[in-house]
């Protein structure tokens, strides 16, 4: 479905491995929307710091994100437990957040129809989005999903370490003082514990279609 001449901005938030990236990508594909994962941006920042160990982190990240080709990030393995922990640490840094916030704001300005996925997309980055979703999932289910995903690239990875890393990451994200993981009051909860991709997209689409009809009436699908 194409939304020519229309404006539709969607935000998806939630903890690690709750399915928010999958849901956001599937919706982006269905409605032909631009997609950006703020979580992937933070993971890339964590990856760079672990790999290059810069002495001046802020100046280093400013240069790296100035002309960043976002599509390049999909070719990297950014979901290791080590990167997850590093990501949570740098996410507490307000100067780092401002660098990545600027990148996200530019993306929003350039794309009238888009999906922004992360942990504070609805509460801080785009609080006036047309539709807001908040993803949740049982920790054991989320850990198994992430484990199966990582095992393809790292056969020796340990399930218990993956589960602990997810628990630690979510705890740090919920309790940090700067932009903690929170549900926006207007966000629609998507529980993916027992929900497959088809059911997930069906639920999200129902609310998106409702908003499109409210904004454009009979022209929603034209």
> DSSP E strands: which ranges in the chain?
8-14, 34-37, 113-118, 131-136, 188-191
Answer whether residue 45 is part of any domain.
yes
The answer to whether the CB of 56 falls within 8 A of the CB of 63 is: no
pLDDT at residue 219, as a whole number? 67
Answer whether residue 2 is part of any domain.
no
What value, to the nearest 5°, has the Cα angle with vertex 11 and ends 9 and 15?
170
Give CA–CA dist 43/164, Å, rounded: 18
Categorize the per-residue pLDDT at 79 as very low, low, confident or very high, splitting at 50, 70 and 90. Answer: confident
Q: How many domains does the chain have?
A: 1
Answer whether residue 192 is part of any domain.
yes
- Domain of 127 in residue numbering reads as 8-215
Using the structure block, give the residue that is written with the tokens 């942990």.
119
Categorize the per-residue pLDDT at 27 as very low, low, confident or very high, splitting at 50, 70 and 90. Answer: very high
Categorize the per-residue pLDDT at 43 as very low, low, confident or very high, splitting at 50, 70 and 90. Answer: very high
**Comparison of pLDDT for 2 and 169, the residue scoring more:** 169
Contacts of 215 (CB under 8 A, 6+ apart): 6, 7, 130
Could you tell me the pTM of the whole model? Answer: 0.91
- pLDDT mean over 98-125: 96
Tokens at 109, concatenated: 């300005």
The answer to whether the CB of 215 falls within 8 A of the CB of 130 is: yes
- pLDDT mean over 200-210: 97
Tokens at 136, concatenated: 């949740």
Answer whether residue 88 is part of any domain.
yes
Sign of the C-alpha dihedral, residues 9, 13, 16, 22?
A: negative
Answer whether residue 43 is part of any domain.
yes
């Amino acid at each position: 479905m194409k939304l020519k001449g229309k404006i539709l901005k969607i935000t998806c938030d939630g903890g690690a491995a709750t399915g928010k990236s999958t849901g956001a990508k599937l919706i982006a594909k269905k409605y032909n929307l631009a997609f950006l994962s703020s979580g992937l941006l933070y993971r890339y920042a964590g990856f760079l710091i672990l790999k290059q160990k810069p002495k001046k982190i802020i100046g280093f990240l400013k240069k790296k994100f100035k002309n960043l080709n976002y599509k390049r990030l999909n070719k990297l393995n950014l979901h290791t437990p080590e990167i997850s922990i590093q990501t949570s640490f740098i996410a507490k840094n307000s100067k780092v957040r401002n660098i990545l916030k600027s990148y996200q704001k530019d993306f929003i300005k350039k794309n009238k129809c888009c999906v922004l996925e992360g942990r504070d997309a609805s509460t801080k980055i785009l609080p006036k989005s047309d539709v807001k979703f908040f993803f949740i999932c049982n920790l054991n289910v989320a850990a198994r999903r992430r484990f199966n995903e990582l095992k393809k690239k790292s056969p020796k990875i340990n399930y218990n370490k993956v589960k602990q890393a997810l628990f630690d990451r979510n705890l740090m994200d919920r309790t940090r003082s700067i932009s903690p993981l929170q549900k926006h009051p207007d966000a629609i909860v998507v529980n993916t514990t027992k929900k497959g991709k088809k059911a997930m997209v069906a639920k999200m689409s129902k609310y998106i279609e409702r908003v499109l009809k409210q904004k454009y009436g009979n022209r929603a699908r034209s």
